[in-house]
């Protein structure tokens, strides 16, 4: 619900003489401004109460006689004015038995008067006795249009400063506003100003840094900064193309075109082949905050706490949306749903059910990226259409992809890839995952450092010949995974990956030192000289 709709709902409740309204919001100033507008339009006064100032109409005044909560309620009861009474942070006193009883008595009086009592608190805290007497309203955070007005106000304030570049293209403005969604009006205005001071321009990374504070305070979700870009992913051309086509999917232009918000993607594949890296790259490419949901943190010891933790994680993700919600190694968190009623009293099943329902019905633009190494351990209801937009299978890297991966890791370690025989390195590492290729480069670096030399192709080849890749250790399971994905998942790469028989044959040649045969074989396969 937009801010305008909430303001309209408040006005209707006040005109309908709802005696007590409980507004849930962190934004005292926005709520007070909205109530002040309503009061002026209805010809009423607005009284504001805090425990420090008492009941006043002027924020610069103080009324010590009404600072006590019961005295404040008596002042509401005794007032002859047509007025709106706003009680800030009254939730701290509402569970007191005397205050609860006084509110119930007051509800009957207010119903036949031209007075309205508003309780404003950052979260809902309501005794059961008052549930039938109080209307609850969730005051929404600033929506896209509200943030646009705040941004424009900041731009107008600094437009004459020659040191500040406040010019934004349509896409840049949209990215800034999307990054600010989930912040309060004050937080948004502050971070816009901070970005101008730090960078002399509106920088999405600075704005997302403000969201990091919200995420950290949740204690369940982890915030991941943008350390990797799409250039750090070797191969996976089909997955990259799919991601790039959705770069502006959360923009207002996409909505106007009729595109729905992307829902999520499930990345299946061999360990160490880039699933987690791809999840991080999606956030970096789309300029959205990456939140990692550690399912292990969800499960707590107290009865009902695990379910509440999942709901809390979902609320935090929605509050900072649009965002990327990353669930790594999904099967480890939800693999026990079938036996949950016997093993843990149904806790895992209930938590999983909460998450599935949210995935199906979610309205907030929170894009879910889930990764899994063992698809057979996943509950079947998770894989059906509607939960994810697509299921991608990430296989072992092909020959040309291994060359690209070597190039990336050599550049990361300040080496010129042109000084290495990348074709030979790719030929001696069939069946190696991206993580294993990185490990080879690191191991060769250690050897070179120990010998006071520099990294060479031969050093990496020696490291490779002494390594048995996971594709050989877990050959049977990888073959099963490939068979499953062949007809049930979309390939993340268009490159041809060697069969397990080809991998075995080439590894035997590599370990016997027949590198020339390997290179010649690859040249014949690719049609090169």
- Predicted local confidence at residue 523, as pLDDT: 58
For the whole model, what pTM was predicted? 0.70
Query: Do 505 and 424 reside in the same domain of the chain?
Result: yes
In a domain, 113, yes or no: yes
Residue, of 510 and 136, whose pLDDT is higher: 136
Supply the angle between the helices 170-180 and 185-199 in degrees, to the nearest 10: 130
Q: Indicate whether 394 pLDDT > 70.
A: yes
Query: Do 158 and 210 reside in the same domain of the chain?
Result: yes
Tokens of residue 467, six digits? 């390594």
Q: Which residues contact 304 (CB under 8 A, 6 or more apart)?
A: none
Running DSSP on this structure, what letter comes out for residue 165?
Answer: B
Distances (CA, A) of 451 to 388, 446, 455: 51, 9, 10
- The size of the chain, in residues, is 529
Q: pLDDT band for 529, please (50, 70, 90 cuts).
A: very low
Domain with 75, as residue range(s), is 3-138
Query: Do 418 and 383 reside in the same domain of the chain?
Result: no
In a domain, 18, yes or no: yes
Q: pLDDT band for 333, please (50, 70, 90 cuts).
A: low
Q: 389, 408, 423 — which closes off a domain? A: 389
Query: Do 242 and 214 reside in the same domain of the chain?
Result: no
Residue found under tokens 């290495």: 420
Please give the share of the chain, as a percent, with pLDDT higher than 70: 91
Interval 451-464 mean pLDDT? 89
In a domain, 505, yes or no: yes
Q: Indicate whether 216 pLDDT > 50.
A: yes
Query: Do 313 and 261 reside in the same domain of the chain?
Result: yes
CATH number for the domain spanning 309: value is 3.40.50.300
Query: Do 22 and 151 reside in the same domain of the chain?
Result: no
Q: Beta-carbon neighbour count of residue 260 at 10 Å?
A: 10
Q: Which of 148, 168, 89, 95 is nearest to 123 (CA)?
A: 89
Cα–Cα dist 6/31, whole Å: 10
CATH number for the domain spanning 421: value is 1.10.8
In a domain, 474, yes or no: no
Query: Do 273 and 354 reside in the same domain of the chain?
Result: yes
Distances (CA, A) of 447 to 95, 450, 512: 68, 5, 21
Query: Do 28 and 177 reside in the same domain of the chain?
Result: no
What is the spatial order of strands in the sheet that 290-293 belongs to?
221-224, 290-293, 323-327, 366-372, 264-269, 390-394, 490-491
Query: Do 151 and 128 reside in the same domain of the chain?
Result: no
Over residues 420-449, the pLDDT tens digits come to 989 889 888 988 999 999 999 999 999 999
Phi/psi of residue 318, each to 5°?
A: -70, -35
What is the spatial order of strands in the sheet that 54-56 belongs to?
54-56, 45-50, 83-88, 116-121, 20-24, 134-138
CA torsion angle for 181, 187, 192, 193 (degrees, to 10)?
Answer: 180
Using an 8 Å Cβ cutoff, are 205 and 195 in contact?
no
Q: 196, 218, 240 — which closes off a domain? A: 218
Q: 364, 389, 414 — which closes off a domain? A: 389
Over residues 245-296, the pLDDT tens digits come to 888 887 778 888 888 888 899 999 888 888 888 988 998 888 888 888 877 7
Domain count, the chain: 4
Query: Do 188 and 275 reside in the same domain of the chain?
Result: no
Distances (CA, A) of 479 to 178, 328, 447, 476, 485: 43, 22, 34, 5, 10
Interval 318-337 mean pLDDT? 77
Query: Do 379 and 239 reside in the same domain of the chain?
Result: yes
In a domain, 249, yes or no: yes
In a domain, 66, yes or no: yes
In a domain, 494, yes or no: no
Distances (CA, A) of 490 to 239, 381, 487, 494, 496: 9, 18, 8, 10, 14
In a domain, 487, yes or no: no
Query: Do 316 and 436 reside in the same domain of the chain?
Result: no
């Amino acid at each position: 619900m937009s801010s305008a709709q909430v303001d309209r709902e408040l006005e209707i409740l006040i005109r309908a003489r709802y005696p007590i309204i409980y507004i849930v919001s962190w934004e005292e100033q926005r709520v007070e401004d909205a109530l002040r507008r309503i009061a002026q339009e209805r010809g009423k006064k607005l009284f504001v109460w805090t425990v420090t100032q008492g009941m006043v109409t002027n924020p610069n005044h103080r009324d010590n006689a009404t600072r006590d909560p019961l005295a404040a309620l008596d002042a509401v009861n005794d007032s002859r004015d047509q007025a709106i009474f706003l009680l800030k942070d009254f939730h701290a006193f509402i569970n007191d038995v005397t205050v609860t009883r006084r509110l119930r008595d007051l509800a009957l009086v207010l119903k036949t008067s031209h007075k309205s009592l508003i309780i404003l608190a950052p979260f809902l805290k309501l005794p059961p006795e008052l549930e039938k007497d109080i209307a609850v309203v969730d005051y929404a955070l600033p929506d896209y249009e509200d943030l646009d007005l705040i941004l424009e106000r900041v731009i107008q304030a600094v437009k004459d400063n020659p040191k500040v570049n406040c010019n934004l293209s349509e896409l840049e403005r949209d990215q800034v506003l999307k990054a600010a969604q989930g912040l309060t009006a004050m937080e948004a205005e502050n971070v816009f100003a901070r970005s101008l001071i730090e960078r002399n321009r509106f920088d999405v990374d600075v704005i997302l840094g403000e969201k990091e504070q919200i995420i950290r305070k949740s204690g369940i979700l982890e915030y991941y900064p943008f350390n990797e870009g799409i250039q750090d992913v070797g191969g996976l051309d089909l997955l990259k193309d799919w991601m790039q086509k959705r770069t502006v999917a959360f923009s207002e232009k996409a909505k106007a075109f009729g595109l729905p918000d992307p829902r999520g993607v499930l990345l299946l594949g061999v360990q160490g082949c880039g699933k987690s890296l791809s999840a991080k790259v999606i956030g970096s490419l789309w300029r959205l905050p990456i939140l990692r949901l550690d399912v292990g943190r969800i499960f707590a010891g107290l009865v009902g706490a695990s379910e509440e933790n999942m709901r809390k994680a979902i609320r935090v993700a929605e509050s900072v949306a649009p965002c990327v919600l990353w669930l790594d190694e999904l099967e480890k968190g939800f693999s026990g749903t079938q036996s949950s009623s016997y093993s843990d009293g149904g806790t895992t099943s209930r938590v999983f059910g909460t998450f599935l329902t949210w995935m199906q019905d979610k309205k907030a633009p929170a894009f879910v990226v889930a990764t899994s190494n063992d698809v057979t351990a996943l509950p079947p209801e998770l894989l059906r259409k509607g939960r994810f937009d697509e299921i991608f299978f990430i296989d072992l890297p092909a020959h040309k992809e291994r060359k690209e991966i070597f190039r990336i890791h050599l550049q990361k370690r300040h080496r010129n890839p042109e000084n290495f025989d990348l074709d030979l390195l790719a030929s001696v590492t069939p069946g190696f995952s991206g993580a294993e290729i990185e490990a080879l480069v690191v191991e060769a670096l250690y050897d070179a450092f120990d010998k006071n030399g520099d990294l060479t192709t031969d050093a990496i080849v020696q490291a490779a010949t002494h390594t048995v890749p996971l594709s050989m250790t877990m050959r049977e399971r990888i073959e099963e995974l490939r068979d499953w994905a062949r007809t049930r998942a979309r390939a993340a790469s268009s490159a041809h990956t060697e069969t397990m028989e080809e991998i075995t044959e080439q590894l035997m040649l590599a370990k016997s030192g027949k590198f020339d045969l390997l290179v010649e074989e690859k040249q014949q396969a690719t049609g090169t000289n």
